[in-house]
A and B are shown apart, each in its own frame.
Chain A
Amino acid sequence: DAGITQSPRYKITETGRQVTLMCHQTWSHSYMFWYRQDLGHGLRLIYYSAAADITDKGEVPDGYVVSRSKTENFPLTLESATRSQTSVYFCASNDGRSPNEKLFFGSGTQLSVL
């Protein structure tokens, strides 16, 4: 089931560089989410989007920027990467028709900031 895809799968970058992680879903889900997964913290919500051109901050938004010009895409940009942003990033979506229905997750992007 490749309904939600993330790219790249792995990324190594340097401190201060801009990095964009891509997320694409084929279900026309209205809601999309970005989480980061870190040891001891579980998954923490970075940003989410209820529809195209509607985005909102999650628990840990600092240092990240998102956009949602099209329903199917929800890129996450690190404007100036820091070592603390080394993490595994997961994109997720749901259709929003049923409140709090389950999320569908992508396979993740493992980002290392040197």
Chain B
Amino acid sequence: AQSVSQHNHHVILSEAASLELGCNYSYGGTVNLFWYVQYPGQHLQLLLKYFSGDPLVKGIKGFEAEFIKSKFSFNLRKPSVQWSDTAEYFCAASGSARQLTFGSGTQLTVLP
């Protein structure tokens, strides 16, 4: 069965700290990977996506993610977080069908 796992449920960091959120997926065949962000009171927005090519993907607001096929991982990173990065982050994956499978989400709290 297709699945996406996010093992960090809540991460608390101080401003300027580095961030890495874990995401592992279980999919047969070709997989497309996404990170979505949900700021407080807002709807989900796409941060970045990986379809093929360079496994290091850069997204908006200084975020990046690295696709490591051998580890079935697509971890999200940011070198220096800001208070405005406080949000919930969702990893998602899809295969040949158009259904996205989401992880359970990671709540990031950045302390000023």
Chain A positions near chain B (C-beta within 8 angstroms): 31, 33, 35, 40-45, 48, 50, 58-59, 90, 92, 94, 96, 99-100, 102-103, 105-108
Nearest CB in chain A: distance from B83 CB, A: 23
Is the beta-carbon distance between B43 and A107 smaller than 8 angstroms?
yes
Assess A42 versus B98: contact at CB under 8 Å? Given A100-B51, A102-B49, A105-B43: no
B106 nearest in chain A by CB position: A42
Assess A100 versus B44: contact at CB under 8 Å? Given A42-B103, A48-B99: no
Assess A100 versus B43: contact at CB under 8 Å? Given A42-B103, A48-B99: no
- Chain B residue contacts of A94, Cβ below 8 A: 98
Q: A50-B98, A58-B99 are in contact. List 7 more A-B contacts (CB 8 A).
A: A43-B90, A48-B98, A96-B98, A100-B32, A100-B100, A102-B34, A103-B46
Cα distance A33–B43 in the bound complex, in angstroms: 14
Assess A105 versus B99: contact at CB under 8 Å? Given A40-B104, A43-B90, A100-B32: no
Main secondary structure of the interface of B (DSSP, over half): loop
- Chain A residue contacts of B105, Cβ below 8 A: 42
Is the beta-carbon distance between B43 and A90 smaller than 8 angstroms?
yes
Q: CB within 8 A of B46: which of A35, A102, A106, A108?
A: A102
Assess A42 versus B90: contact at CB under 8 Å? Given A50-B98, A100-B32, A105-B45: yes
Nearest CB in chain A: distance from B10 CB, A: 11
B2 nearest in chain A by CB position: A59
Interface string of B70-101 (1 = CB under 8 A from A): 00000000000000000000101010101111
A56 nearest in chain B by CB position: B99
Cα distance A43–B96 in the bound complex, in angstroms: 19
Assess A41 versus B42: contact at CB under 8 Å? Given A31-B98, A102-B49: no
